Amino acid sequence: MKNTLIQYGAAAADLLLPRTCIVCGRKLGIHESHICLYCISDLPFTFFWHREHNPMADKFNEQIQKTLEAAPATQIPAEKYAFAAALYFFSQGSDYRNIQYSLKYKGNISAGRHFGRILGDRLASSVQFKDADTIIPVPLHWTRKWSRGYNQAEAIACGIALKLGAELRCDILARKKRTRTQTMLSTEEKARNVKEAFIVKEPCKNIGRIRHILVVDDIFTTGSTLHACFTALRRVFPADVRISIASLGYTG
């Protein structure tokens, strides 16, 4: 009875505003949401959540090591190999780029949560990620969030938190510097642009029980944004608190 009502509801909503696939634009069936069955079955999944060492994690850990090596020898803390996973390979030439564009520029928050849940399902089946207890989205500067009205990373993080049974915490990390858009910058410029951009808010409540943090962004390109978040968090959280990262898209 409940399902029938939902189907009637979906059919009625389609008459008012037809629902279409975010990737190919095809009209969606009653059992499909945001993406059609053809597009989801062809989605170029990375399967990074099943590989502790993968290209994204290697790239990320390289940056962590570089920062550690630059620090004075006496201050080098022990650092575990950080876990990293993305849902799919992002490519400018593919229609799957519409997933990112729809989240970032068209305000499709509900799609962000949906793809977050898809990624969350994968992470929940992964030895590396299943015990993550705290999900932190990469924050926007408050002026940008105010003008855009939402944070796309927060929508994704919300879907992931739901599937992992973890707590979504948007009150821990803040962006103190309004940075330039990263799109047109070189790798070095990107790293410089976001360095010191994030800060852990003081005083930060109820962080004593946190054992495994997962920082979430919409896309991983050079990893410099997530690395800047990692650095800010590591200043507050000791080495026995694991800090991992996840994103929807990955560009190698």
Interacting residues with Zn ion (CB under 5 A): 21, 23-24, 26, 36, 39
Nearer to Zn ion, 23 or 87 (CB): 23
Shortest Å, Cβ 21 to Zn ion: 3
Nearer to Zn ion, 36 or 216 (CB): 36
Look at the block and give the residue holding tokens 């009150």.
Answer: 171
Question: How far is 34 from 151, CA to CA, in rounded Å?
Answer: 19
| Nearest Cα to Cα of residue 109 among 166, 37, 36, 158 | 158
Confirm if 46 and 52 have CB atoms less than 8 A apart: no
Shortest Å, Cβ 37 to Zn ion: 8
Helical packing angle, 109-124 and 152-164, nearest 10°: 40
Nearer to Zn ion, 89 or 150 (CB): 89
In order of 146, 222, 224, 244, the CA distances from 189 in angstroms are 26, 11, 10, 24
Identify the bridge partners of residue 245 per DSSP, sorted by sequence position: 84, 215
Shortest Å, Cβ 219 to Zn ion: 20
Nearer to Zn ion, 26 or 163 (CB): 26
Nearer to Zn ion, 118 or 136 (CB): 118
Nearer to Zn ion, 25 or 165 (CB): 25
Shortest Å, Cβ 96 to Zn ion: 10
Question: How far is 18 from 26, CA to CA, in rounded Å?
Answer: 10
Confirm if 176 and 187 have CB atoms less than 8 A apart: no
Shortest Å, Cβ 20 to Zn ion: 8
Shortest Å, Cβ 93 to Zn ion: 17
Phi-psi region of 207 (alpha: psi -120 to 50; beta: other; left: phi over 0): alpha
